[in-house]
């Protein structure tokens, strides 16, 4: 019997007091991103809103928390260390899962200075399992973490899963279904068409959707978009629910819907999975979070 209360948030974009960029960095992608942050983007990602969101999230008492990427902004080594400390305050490796986003791979960074800091929250249950896709089973739900993060040229913020990851995903989806588990896939970039401009898109999204069409899944979650998304994807037994979130720390503005997170409550058994969704959104009027919507869904298998 499946039973799990999963809190999903995305794109916290943690503030970091970085030293001034060196001359060699100023014309790099990292330097350009830092300039954009200083010109205004940093004013839209508010630490106080993030703190309120996390307090609101904790008050709901979820069984597990999922963060779908973009913890940092410039891929500086100090940012990865700070983000690891933040993750430790948010939840233990058993109670919290993370995947990387495009800002977490803004430029090439040696793993030991970068994503290795997050490995306790970014590894599967099986010892020695490949990093991605990873699988964590909680309450009858298989949480499948993918990485679409890769360094790109200036002006680009897209991602790619790659052939090897997609092949492993296909095998995992078949095995997890045979085990009677509810399969929840998380990736940073939206897999549906037209959600973000092509320069920011998942460039092998057609390949990802082809895997889903053959093997199915019960739910897909993503971040990266600046608004909430509901873009079902074709599966072998009907449409697969695909939900996306904006940044959990963004103040509402012309480009961002504003901070949101969602509580996903799974119940049921193979062939009869149910999902109850509660969306919590930041309200300027309240200067806090309120329920923006509740709905129940039957998940196709």
- pLDDT tens digits along 112-146: 999 999 999 999 998 776 689 999 999 999 999 99
Instruction: Give the whole-number percent of the chain exceeding pLDDT 70.
Output: 95
Mean pLDDT within 59-85: 97
Task: Dump pLDDT digits (tens) for 199-256.
Answer: 999 999 999 999 999 999 999 999 999 999 999 999 999 999 999 999 999 999 988 8
The dihedral through the CA atoms of 159, 44, 7, 290 has a sign that is: negative
Instruction: Give the whole-number percent of the chain exceeding pLDDT 90.
Output: 86
Note down the domain range covering 34. 2-298
Q: What per-residue confidence (pLDDT) applies to 147?
A: 98
In the numeric block, which tokens belong to residue 256? 């961002």
Least confident of 15-24, 167-176, 256-265: 15-24
Least confident of 18-27, 172-181, 259-268: 18-27
Q: What per-residue confidence (pLDDT) applies to 23?
A: 61
pLDDT over 90 at 97, yes or no:
yes
Least confident of 88-102, 115-129, 171-185: 115-129
Q: What per-residue confidence (pLDDT) applies to 41?
A: 82
pLDDT over 70 at 288, yes or no:
yes
Per-residue pLDDT band for 37 (boundaries 50, 70, 90) equals confident
CA distance 226 to 235: 26
Q: What per-residue confidence (pLDDT) applies to 126?
A: 84
Mean pLDDT within 94-116: 97
pLDDT over 80 at 111, yes or no:
yes
Q: What per-residue confidence (pLDDT) applies to 27?
A: 59
CATH number at residue 46: 3.60.21.10
pLDDT over 70 at 21, yes or no:
no
CA distance 19 to 39: 16
Chain mean pLDDT for the chain: 94
- Count the domains in the chain: 1
């Amino acid at each position: 019997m499946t039973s799990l209360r999963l809190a999903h948030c995305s794109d916290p974009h943690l503030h970091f007091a970085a030293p001034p960029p060196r001359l060699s960095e100023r014309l790099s992608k990292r330097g350009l991103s830092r300039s954009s942050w200083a010109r205004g983007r940093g004013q839209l990602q508010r630490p106080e809103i993030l703190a309120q969101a996390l307090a609101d999230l904790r008050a709901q008492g979820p069984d597990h928390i999922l963060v779908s990427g973009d913890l940092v902004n410039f891929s500086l080594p100090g940012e990865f260390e700070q983000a690891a400390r933040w993750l430790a305050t948010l939840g233990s490796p058993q109670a919290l899962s993370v995947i990387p986003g495009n800002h977490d791979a803004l430029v090439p960074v040696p793993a030991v200075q970068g994503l290795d800091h997050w490995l306790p929250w970014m590894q599967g249950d099986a010892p020695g399992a490949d990093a991605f896709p990873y699988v964590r089973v909680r309450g009858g739900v298989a949480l499948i973490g993918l990485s679409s993060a890769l360094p790109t040229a200036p002006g680009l913020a897209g991602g790619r899963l790659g052939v090897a990851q997609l092949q492993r995903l296909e095998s995992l989806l078949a095995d997890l279904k045979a085990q009677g588990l509810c399969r929840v896939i998380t990736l940073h970039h939206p897999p549906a068409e037209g959600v973000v401009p092509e320069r920011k898109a998942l460039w092998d999204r057609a390949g990802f959707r082809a895997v889903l069409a053959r093997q199915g899944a019960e739910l897909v979650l993503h971040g990266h978009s600046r608004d909430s998304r509901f873009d079902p994807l074709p599966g072998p037994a009907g449409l697969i629910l695909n939900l996306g979130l904006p940044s959990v720390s963004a103040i509402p503005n012309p480009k961002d819907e504003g901070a949101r997170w969602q509580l996903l409550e799974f119940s049921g058994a193979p062939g009869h999975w149910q999902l109850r969704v509660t969306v919590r959104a930041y309200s300027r009027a309240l200067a806090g979070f309120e329920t923006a919507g509740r709905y129940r869904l039957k998940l196709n298998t």
